[in-house]
C-alpha cells in the first residue's frame, strides 16, 4: 500500500522550511530525509495502512544528543514526534501522523556494554532483540524476553509496548528486565529514570511508567537491562488433542504442577491448518484440533520436567505426543510457532491480529465464544498463543479486496475487544494499544483511570507532541 503525499510535503511552507533547516544543522549530513520513498517506507507498522497523514521528515539520530536536539526543535515548533523502531508492531503504535517528524532509531543500535558481574546490558534502542540475546549468551548470560518478532524487533520497540513472547510464562515480560532508562522528554531534556540497581524505591517508579507507554510520555535513548545466568538446554513435549478443551485442561495441569515450563503455547485447528499450508515442511502434526507445546530450560531436572509434561498430556487424552529433545526438531517447532501471524494472514490475504488476555479459568469460554463468532461473521478465526499466562492471539482472516469481508472482520474485532473485557481480561497483553484498540479503553479502564492517565501524559508532554493519537 502506498501513501499519497500531500502538497504540504512536496512544497513545504516557510515554517516547515525553517524547521527542516534547524534539523539539518543539528544532525549529521544525510540524517534528515524528506523524499517520498523514505516517508512512505516509515508510514505504518506491520499492522498495515493506511497511514494517518503525511510526515514532514524522517530523522536518523546516532546519539542521545541528536534526539534531544530533535525534540527541542519539535517542541519549539509544536511539531509531533513519532519514535519508530523496526516497524514490526501489530497495533499501529509507530504509524505516522500528519505533519510529524519520524525518529528512526535504526542507527542507534550499539550494545554499549555487557557487565557479567552486575548482570546487566546497556543498549541503545535500535538493538535487535535477537542480536542482544546472542551477544549476552557468548558471555554465559541470558536475556529472557522473546517476542515472536525477535529476529527483527528492537529493544526500543519492545520497551514501548512492554513486549512479551513465548518465555513470559516463566520469566515475565520486557518490563521485568528493565532496570533503568535514559529518556528524552518532549522539550528535549535528558533524564535518567532511576539508578540501575536491583532495588530502588526512591521517588515514583518512572521506569515502569515509561515502559509500555508507546512513545507517548518520553523517548527512550538507552536502556539498562537485567540479565540472568544462562539456562539449560531446551527440551519438551509437543502434543495434539481432539478438542481445545482437552489441550486447555492439560495446560492448566502443567501450570499447577511444581515444574514450571519456560514455554507453554497453544494452537487451535485453524492455526494448525494455516501453518501447514504456509510451511508445508513445518513438521507440525496434521489433522488435530489443538496443539500444546510445553518446553523447559531447567539446568537441573530438565529430563524430569519433560517426563512430567508427557505424563500430564497423556492423562488429558493427547492424540500424538512428540518428545522433542533434538535441537533441530525444537528449532523447527519454534519456527512454525513464530510463523503464526504470517500463516493466518496468508489464509485469505489479510488478517486482524488480536492480542487479548483473560484469566486462564475463562479460556474455555473464550474459545467457545470465538468459534461462535467465526460462524456468525462467516470468517475463519484462528487462535493461539501463550496459554500459560492467558494471553491468546485470535487472528481474523479476511480478503482485503472484498469490502463485505473487511466490514465483517472489523465487526469481529470490536466484538473480541468487548469479549476480553466481559471475561475479566484486557484488550492487549503485549502488542499495545496503538491506534487499533483506542475504542476499547473506556470500557476496560473507566473514566477515573482514563483521567489519571491523561494527567500523567500532560505532566510528561504538556503540549501533546509525543506520538499523538496513540495509546491513550
Only one residue has cell 537441573, namely: 300
**Which CATH number applies to 111-229?**
3.30.465.10
Local structure of 132: helix, strand or coil: helix
Distance CA 153, CA 126 (A): 9
- In which element (H, E) is residue 432 found? none
- In which element (H, E) is residue 392 found? strand 391-392
Grid coordinates representing 444 are: 476496560
Distance CA 296, CA 309 (A): 9
Domain ranges for the chain = 7-107, 111-229, 235-422
The DSSP bridge pattern shows strands 228-229 and 395-398 to be unpaired
Are 351 and 397 in contact, with CB atoms under 8 Å apart?
yes
Distance CA 265, CA 238 (A): 9
Local structure of 219: helix, strand or coil: strand
Query: What per-residue confidence (pLDDT) applies to 48?
Result: 83
Only one residue has cell 519492545, namely: 158
The DSSP bridge pattern shows strands 263-268 and 290-296 to be antiparallel
Query: What per-residue confidence (pLDDT) applies to 2?
Result: 37
Residue 349 burial (CB count, 10 A): 13
Query: What per-residue confidence (pLDDT) applies to 50?
Result: 80
**Which CATH number applies to 235-422?**
3.40.462.10
Write out residues in the chain with pLDDT < 50, as ranges: 1-10
Query: What per-residue confidence (pLDDT) applies to 318?
Result: 97
Residue 174 burial (CB count, 10 A): 28
Q: Cβ-count burial of 222 within 10 angstroms (0-12 exposed, 13-18 middle, 19+ buried)?
A: buried
Are 333 and 295 in contact, with CB atoms under 8 Å apart?
no
Distance CA 386, CA 391 (A): 5
Are 373 and 412 in contact, with CB atoms under 8 Å apart?
yes
Distance CA 10, CA 7 (A): 5
Topology annotation, domain 7-107: 3.30.43
Of 294, 283, 288, 266, which Cα lies nearest the Cα of 333? 283
Local structure of 59: helix, strand or coil: strand
Query: What per-residue confidence (pLDDT) applies to 12?
Result: 67
Query: What per-residue confidence (pLDDT) applies to 81?
Result: 98
Cα-trace Rg, the chain: 23
Whole-angstrom CA distances from 352 to 39, 109, 170 are 24, 30, 28
Cis ω on the peptide bond leading into residue 50 (within 30° of 0)?
A: yes
Are 23 and 100 in contact, with CB atoms under 8 Å apart?
no
Query: What per-residue confidence (pLDDT) applies to 53?
Result: 87
The DSSP bridge pattern shows strands 120-123 and 101-104 to be unpaired
**What are the DSSP calls for 134-182, one per residue?**
HHHHTTTEE---B-TTTTT-BHHHHHHHT--BTTHHHH--GGGGEEEEE
pTM to 2 decimals? Answer: 0.93
Query: What per-residue confidence (pLDDT) applies to 148?
Result: 87
Residue 168 burial (CB count, 10 A): 25
Amino acid at each position: 500500500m502506498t501513501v499519497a503525499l500531500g502538497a504540504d510535503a512536496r512544497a513545504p511552507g516557510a515554517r516547515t522550511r525553517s524547521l527542516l533547516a534547524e534539523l539539518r544543522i543539528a544532525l549529521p549530513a544525510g540524517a534528515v530525509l524528506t523524499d517520498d520513498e523514505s516517508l512512505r517506507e516509515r508510514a505504518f507498522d506491520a499492522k498495515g495502512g493506511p497511514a494517518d497523514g503525511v510526515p514532514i521528515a524522517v530523522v536518523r539520530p546516532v546519539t542521545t544528543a541528536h534526539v534531544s536536539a530533535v525534540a527541542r526543535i519539535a517542541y519549539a515548533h509544536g511539531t509531533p514526534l513519532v519514535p519508530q523502531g523496526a516497524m514490526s508492531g501489530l497495533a499501529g503504535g509507530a504509524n505516522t501522523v500528519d505533519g510529524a517528524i519520524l525518529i528512526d532509531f535504526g542507527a542507534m543500535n550499539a550494545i554499549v556494554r555487557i557487565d557479567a558481574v552486575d548482570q546487566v546490558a546497556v543498549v541503545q534502542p535500535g538493538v535487535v532483540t535477537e542480536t542482544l540475546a546472542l551477544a549476552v549468551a557468548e558471555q554465559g548470560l541470558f536475556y529472557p524476553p522473546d517476542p515472536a518478532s525477535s529476529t527483527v524487533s528492537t529493544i526500543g520497540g519492545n520497551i514501548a509496548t512492554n513486549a512479551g513472547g513465548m518465555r513470559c510464562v516463566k520469566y515475565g515480560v520486557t518490563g521485568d528486565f528493565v532496570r533503568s532508562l535514559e529518556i528524552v522528554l518532549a522539550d528535549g531534556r535528558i533524564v535518567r529514570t532511576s539508578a540501575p540497581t536491583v532495588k530502588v524505591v526512591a521517588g515514583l517508579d518512572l521506569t515502569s511508567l515509561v515502559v509500555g507507554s508507546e512513545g507517548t510520555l518520553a523517548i527512550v535513548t538507552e536502556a539498562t537491562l537485567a540479565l540472568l545466568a544462562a539456562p539449560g538446554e531446551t527440551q519438551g513435549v509437543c502434543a495434539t488433542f481432539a478438542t481445545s478443551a482437552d489441550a486447555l485442561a492439560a495446560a492448566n495441569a502443567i501450570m499447577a504442577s511444581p515444574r514450571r515450563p519456560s514455554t507453554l503455547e497453544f494452537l487451535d485447528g485453524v492455526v494448525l491448518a494455516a501453518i501447514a499450508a504456509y510451511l508445508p515442511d513445518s513438521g507440525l502434526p496434521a489433522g488435530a484440533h489443538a496443539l500444546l507445546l510445553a518446553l523447559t530450560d531447567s539446568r537441573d531436572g530438565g529430563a524430569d520436567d519433560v517426563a512430567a509434561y508427557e505424563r500430564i498430556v497423556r492423562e488429558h487424552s493427547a492424540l500424538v505426543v512428540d518428545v522433542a529433545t533434538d535441537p533441530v526438531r525444537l528449532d523447527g517447532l519454534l519456527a512454525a510457532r513464530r510463523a503464526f501471524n504470517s500463516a493466518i494472514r496468508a489464509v485469505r490475504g489479510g488478517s486482524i491480529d488480536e492480542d487479548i488476555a483473560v484469566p486462564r479459568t475463562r479460556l474455555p469460554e473464550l474459545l467457545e465464544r470465538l468459534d461462535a463468532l467465526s460462524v456468525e461473521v462467516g470468517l475463519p478465526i484462528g487462535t493461539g498463543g501463550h496459554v500459560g499466562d492467558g494471553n491468546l492471539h485470535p487472528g481474523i482472516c479476511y480478503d482485503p479486496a472484498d469490502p463485505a469481508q473487511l466490514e465483517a472482520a472489523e465487526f469481529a474485532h470490536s466484538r473480541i475487544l468487548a469479549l476480553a473485557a466481559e471475561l475479566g481480561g484486557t484488550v492487549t497483553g503485549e502488542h499495545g494499544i496503538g491506534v487499533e484498540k483506542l475504542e476499547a479503553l473506556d470500557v476496560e479502564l473507566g473514566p477515573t483511570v482514563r483521567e489519571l492517565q491523561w494527567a500523567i501524559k500532560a505532566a510528561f508532554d504538556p503540549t501533546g507532541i509525543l506520538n499523538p493519537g496513540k495509546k491513550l
